[in-house]
Structure 1
Amino acid sequence: MNRLPRLRGQLFERHEITVEKDIVRARQAVGRAMDGLGAKAIRKTRLVTAASEIFRNGLNYGGGAVALIHCDAGNRMVWVDCIDDGPGIEDMALALRDGYTSGTGLGRGLGGAKRLVDEFDIVSEPGVGTHVRLAGRA
């Protein structure tokens, strides 16, 4: 699978997401990164909410994931990568459509996350995994 290019900025934290509690720790780290850049509460909430949804997808559909949180102080951006080695996404357009779910959720995960952030990118290959990148400006 083609991964997204390396991020600029400083690695803030790395988290393995293998159980539900890991999602909480990783989303708290996203919040701390936004706080470190002086983000307004609404901007922080939007990125933390989107990241939480993506982390949950990595756990539930990808069988676990790695979360990488980067801070780019120069651009006042927090970047979040969530990478899994799960089954991948067969139909990206369908997966991004509101109401579509491959599980038991409401089908608002990927599309909802995309609407909440300043930058969103995703690459996925069936049978190989998925790499989602989100970013929020502080």
Structure 2
Amino acid sequence: MTAAGAEPEVLPIAGDDDVVRVRQLVRTYAQRVKLSLVDQTKLVTAASELARNTLIYGGGGAASIQVVGDGRRSGVRAAFSDTGPGIPDTGLALADGWSSGSGLGLGLSGARRLVDEFDLDTEVGRGTTVTVVKWKR
């Protein structure tokens, strides 16, 4: 997969207002590549969950959003990174219904179901990066 445009746009995630800004930027990119309204909603929902996780569980971090292409299609890639505590058990964290906090436990698993590609890179003590891609159909 190669970048189909400019360098990624990076937004800090340090508060609730930043989560809103990330959601708005992801929607702008989804519209730019002409994702269907349903796919726009799925991507924006996943991005909102992941940005909120970055803030709450990672202590803040950054989102990186860009248009990507693989030679046949275009899409949007969004990566959410933090330098928080990391996830000790990724299998458990990706299971429906599990939460390390008081939430419903649908953040990571729900986000994974809403996108076409999902990558979780985490290490205890180093932090977490979750990268998602939604392709135009």
TM-score, normalised via structure 1 length: 0.91
Please list, as runs of the form range in 1=range in 2, the aligned pairs for 1:1-138 lying within 5 A after superposition. 8-9=3-4, 10-72=6-68, 75-138=73-136
Question: Aligned residue pairs: how many?
Answer: 133
Distance 2:76 2:8 in 1: 9
Deviations 1:52-71 (A, max 9, x none): 10000000000001100010
Task: Please give the alpha-carbon distance, in whole angstroms, between the structure 1 residues aligned to 2:87 and 2:54.
Answer: 12
> How far apart are the structure 1 equivalents of 2:2 and 2:44?
19
Identity among equivalent positions (%) equals 44
Confirm or deny: 8 A CA contact 1:86 1:127 kept in the other structure.
Answer: yes
Measured after TM superposition, the shift of residue 39 of structure 1 is 1.3
CA RMSD between the two structures: 1.4
Q: Distance in 1 between matches of 2:27 and 2:2?
A: 19
- Contact 1:99 1:106 (C-alpha < 8 Å) held by counterparts: yes
Q: The residue matched to 1:122 in structure 2 has which SS?
A: strand
- Single out whichever of 78-87 and 11-20 deviates more from structure 2: 11-20
Q: Distance in 1 between matches of 2:33 and 2:80?
A: 21
SS at match of 2:3: coil
- Any unmatched runs of 5+ in structure 1? 1-5
Corresponding residue for residue 3 of structure 1: none
Following TM superposition, by how much is the alpha carbon of 1:88 offset from its aligned partner in structure 2, in angstroms?
0.1
Give 1:7 deviation, angstroms: 6.2
Structure 2 segments unaligned to the other structure (5+ residues): none
Counterpart contact for 1:12–1:33, Cα < 8 Å: no
Q: 1:11, 1:68 within 8 Å by CA — same for their partners in 2?
A: no
